[in-house]
Structure 1
Amino acid sequence: MKLDELNLEVDYFQFDEKFYEKVDATPLNNPFLISYSKSVCDLINLDYKECEKEDFVKFINGEKVLKGSIPFSMAYAGHQFGYFVPQLGDGRAINLGYINNWHLQTKGSGLTKYSRQGDGRAVLRSSIREYIISEAMHALGIPTTRALALIGSSHKVYRDYLEVETGAIVLRVSPSWIRIGTFEFFSRGKNPENNLRQLANYVINQSYPHLKNDEDKYEKMYFELVDKSAKLLAQWMAYGFQHGVINTDNFSTAALTIDYGPFAFMDHFSKHSVCNHTDMEGRYSYNNQPEIARWNLEILAYSLGKICSFQKLISYLKTFMSKQQEEYLKIMNQRLGLDIDLSDDGNLDLMIDLLEALEESKIDYNCFFYEVTKLENFDNISSILDIAVFRSPLENWFEKYKQLIKIQKQDFFKMKELMKKTNPKFVIKNYMLQEAIDVAKQGDFKLVNDLLKIAQNPFSEHKEFERYAKPTPLEYSNIKLSCSS
């Protein structure tokens, strides 16, 4: 389908005008295409060649408005680092409408009513990071917003230490942009019950359409969100992903990974790792993520409690941590090739011992699982020990692993097949992204597109990028980033 043949729809104007602002983008100076994702083009039936035309860049830059599109930004509230902020919103994002149930949004398009002290812009480095990681998460099977394209510009933007950077825009797509913070905003002011019912119905139509005609549909929506969020957090934890800023305004009511800021995939394993340098107290540390997610869902219950049974919501929320652990153990067993049905408790003790051994040995987290996948037998583990700073913790753990395999009569060949499906060769690390950012600042975007290819095909060999399958160099390991990253 040609770009001009796309017909967007907008369904947000059913709400009162206090919940959104119709706003036009402020175009960047001298925009140009950096990259586009063919797999995301497929979601909206857009011909690939259309992305290479000048009109496509104008579309992302806000100079061209597609048929049916009425650009707008959403208002929402949120708990940021645990403190309630009553007025937030799309401070640098503009919604364009939806097609095929995919809602299009540009990030970095200029000032909106909700920009507060910001400039409404996104810089090149943060845009590259979000563009690539969105597709990397999807390829790992982790629910996420997606990224269709990335444009750069000569537009000057000022960030840390008054450094002059250039502006960029990511065209993001998602089944939903509604957050817990949206419910917090709708629950305040006049007629909160009516506003909340309208919003809840909207979310059900978007993300839980099978519940539309059910009794107690608001409670059931919440129950499903709890279950999906438990699984999402299990996936984050099992693959060593750190979101960095799990505020309620960054927590999706469709259980998607949303709003990539100072994120990171774990380098060497550290359960108290913090990837956001503004998180001084470690609220959003790796280990805290499930509890923060549960806390966010509790905040949502206070809003939804105005239109359904608060007690039922809170009672169901008590299942979150056990469900998250159950899902986590399932994935971790798969990463080790273990048939969980052959165990009595999901091999919980083995997993606890593994995490301790990984932390004590200071080994690259995802590289460990990839190297286990490559083993021809479990007697020769030198390839794993060679990438550990300290060897003995892993040597001791492998003895427990081998003993459990023997007791449970796990089939070695089935183990290998399961691990191959679960453990990618490549996981996008921050040092890789920084390499792409450094050359992109010089006008070379080849590595951005190479990393996109790797991100979208993490189980493939990519022989020319073998070095990215190796541990993160220690000097770049577990580096903290800022919210503007």
Structure 2
Amino acid sequence: MKLTDVILTTPYLDLSTIFYHEVSPTPLKNPLLVSVNPEVAQLLGLNPAHLNDKELENLLNGTLLLEGSRPYAMCYAGHQFGYYVQRLGDGRAINLGALNGWNLQLKGSGVTRYSRQGDGRAVLRSSIREYLISEAMNALGIPTSRALALISSDEKVARERWERGAIVLRLAPSWIRFGSFEYFFHTNKHKELESLADFCLQESFPQFIGSEDAYLKMFAEIVKRTAELIASWQSVGFNHGVMNTDNMSAIGITIDYGPFAFMDTFESGYICNHTDAQGRYSYDNQPRIGYWNLERLAHALSPLVTHEKLQSELEQYGNYFTNQLMQLLRAKLGLDTTQENDSDLLRALFSVMENGRIDMTPFFRTLSRYEGNRDALLALTLAPNQLNEWLERYDVRLTDNSSSVDERHRQMLRTNPKYVLKNYILQEAIDEAEGGNYTRVNDLLRIAQNPYDEHSDFERYAGVTPPQHTNLKLSCSS
């Protein structure tokens, strides 16, 4: 299918106008197509070979309106750093419509009713980061929004400095957030709250429609998906940075990539967002914040379901999180059986990584080829004695495996990525792109989508992060 054959649908606009604001994108000056993602094009039913660059550029810039499209921004509220803000909404994102079960959205496409004092724009720096990280997360098996394409421009946008304006076309099965429900609860619009819940069921949880306690079952599924999502983040050392309730997906996927990081040197209290002075969204606090955010969602749903029932489902969060994390970490260690003391072994490992200032990704990748010779692993730590002690325990634990050493290696190499898009790697692509060279962006797209493969030209990205780039902090405009 060609882009000009696409017919979008806009079922969200069947809701009352209080849910959205119909608004057209504001084009950027002299747009330039930076990158196209063939994998996502196919996901949408588009033939990458038949994508016309100029048409795609115009689509992202808002000057090409596809058949059936009625652009709109969504209204929602949210708790930002623990404080309730009564109306937020899509302040710089405009929805185009749905295709093949995906809702297309332009981020950075201009002012909407919900922009407040914002300019409705995104900069090239943040757009590159979101474009690439969504694809990296997907390739790691972590539920996420996706990205089809990215444009730059000659438009100047003021952030900490003047930067190039950009737009990324991102997509998700749903853009409904915890904060969407909060908006209608806190404004006492319970009829609209019920309409939103019905829409969410239809869009994302049709298996519960018509069943008794459908809203409760939907909430229970959101609890499970959110817990498992955050366990997945923890397993790869991912720090979201801004887990406000307006940035939490009602279908349990990762959305709204602002300041984020794949951890370099393991640091349990790592904070990737320099705005987060208190460490609310630090790496080790993510599981607790996930629960706190779900409490806010339960409160918002209380006109539809009794508090007692919602709380009962919420209390399953810890079990979902722990079970998923343990499953993922056992796989990272190549353990194919379950032992009661596995949690002790894993806690000890994270203590060893922190004390030895071990870079998480190359450590697990090196461990994936471990046969007893410890030299390569010991070279990664500043506390070799502690790591040696842990490896003694690990050697004993491996004797419980039913698989062969070769089978363990194969499974671990499919589980532990060789490449994650650390912030210093992304910054290299950003620096080149700001100078007009977009080659590295497309190189990183290929690496992001194939993180377990060998990329001989980029071997240095698989090593320990250079000390001067370790565990950087970023701004909310990143």
Under TM normalisation by the shorter chain, which class is it? over 0.9
Task: Give the deviation of 1:408 after TM superposition.
Answer: 5.7
The answer to whether the Cα contact below 8 Å between 1:240 and 1:365 also exists between their aligned partners in 2 is yes
Report whether the alignment pairs 1:205 with 2:213: no
The answer to whether the Cα contact below 8 Å between 1:233 and 1:290 also exists between their aligned partners in 2 is yes
Task: Give the deviation of 1:188 after TM superposition.
Answer: 3.3
Q: Which residue of 1 aligns with 2:59?
A: 59
SS at match of 2:368: helix
Task: Give the deviation of 1:193 after TM superposition.
Answer: 2.4
Task: Give the deviation of 1:164 after TM superposition.
Answer: 1.2
| Distance (Å, rounded) in 2 between the aligned partners of 1:348 and 1:410 | 21
| Distance (Å, rounded) in 2 between the aligned partners of 1:409 and 1:148 | 42
Q: Which residue of 2 aligns with 1:164?
A: 162
Report whether the alignment pairs 1:313 with 2:327: no
Deviations 1:293-325 (A, max 9, x none): 011011000111111122111111112112201
In structure 2, do the counterparts of structure 1 residues 313 and 479 end up closer, same or farther at CA, with 3 Å as the change threshold? Answer: same
Equivalence map 1:332-481=2 (5 Å): 332-341=329-338, 343-345=339-341, 347-375=342-370, 377-378=371-372, 380-406=373-399, 411-481=404-474
Equivalence map 1:25-424=2 (5 Å): 25-160=25-160, 163-189=161-187, 192-341=189-338, 343-345=339-341, 347-375=342-370, 377-378=371-372, 380-406=373-399, 411-424=404-417
SS at match of 1:187: helix
Task: Give the deviation of 1:326 after TM superposition.
Answer: 1.3
Deviations 1:325-379 (A, max 9, x none): 11101100100000133x135x00000000000000101011110011123x12x
Gaps of 5+ in 1: none
| Distance (Å, rounded) in 2 between the aligned partners of 1:253 and 1:55 | 32
SS at match of 2:75: strand
Gaps of 5+ in 2: none
Task: Give the deviation of 1:436 after TM superposition.
Answer: 0.2
The amino acid that maps onto 1:323 is: Y
Task: Give the deviation of 1:27 after TM superposition.
Answer: 0.2
SS at match of 2:272: coil
In the comparison of the two structures, how many residue pairs are matched?
478
46-55 or 138-147, larger mean C-alpha shift: 46-55
| Distance (Å, rounded) in 1 between the aligned partners of 2:127 and 2:292 | 29
Task: Give the deviation of 1:79 after TM superposition.
Answer: 0.2
SS at match of 2:220: helix
Percent pairwise identity: 49
The amino acid that maps onto 1:308 is: V
Task: Give the deviation of 1:196 after TM superposition.
Answer: 1.5
The answer to whether the Cα contact below 8 Å between 1:291 and 1:321 also exists between their aligned partners in 2 is no
TM-score normalized by the length of structure 2: 0.98
Task: Give the deviation of 1:393 after TM superposition.
Answer: 2.0
The answer to whether the Cα contact below 8 Å between 2:34 and 2:438 also exists between their aligned partners in 1 is yes
Task: Give the deviation of 1:42 after TM superposition.
Answer: 0.8
2:477 corresponds, among 458, 477, 484, to 484
| Distance (Å, rounded) in 1 between the aligned partners of 2:325 and 2:419 | 21
| Distance (Å, rounded) in 2 between the aligned partners of 1:467 and 1:206 | 43
TM-score normalized by the length of structure 1: 0.97
The answer to whether the Cα contact below 8 Å between 1:330 and 1:340 also exists between their aligned partners in 2 is no
The answer to whether the Cα contact below 8 Å between 2:335 and 2:401 also exists between their aligned partners in 1 is no
The amino acid that maps onto 1:394 is: L
SS at match of 1:340: coil
SS at match of 2:232: helix
| Distance (Å, rounded) in 1 between the aligned partners of 2:402 and 2:200 | 47
In structure 2, do the counterparts of structure 1 residues 7 and 272 end up closer, same or farther at CA, with 3 Å as the change threshold? Answer: same
| Distance (Å, rounded) in 1 between the aligned partners of 2:385 and 2:76 | 51
| Distance (Å, rounded) in 1 between the aligned partners of 2:29 and 2:337 | 55
The answer to whether the Cα contact below 8 Å between 1:361 and 1:392 also exists between their aligned partners in 2 is no
The answer to whether the Cα contact below 8 Å between 1:176 and 1:254 also exists between their aligned partners in 2 is yes
SS at match of 1:246: coil
The amino acid that maps onto 2:197 is: A
SS at match of 1:262: coil
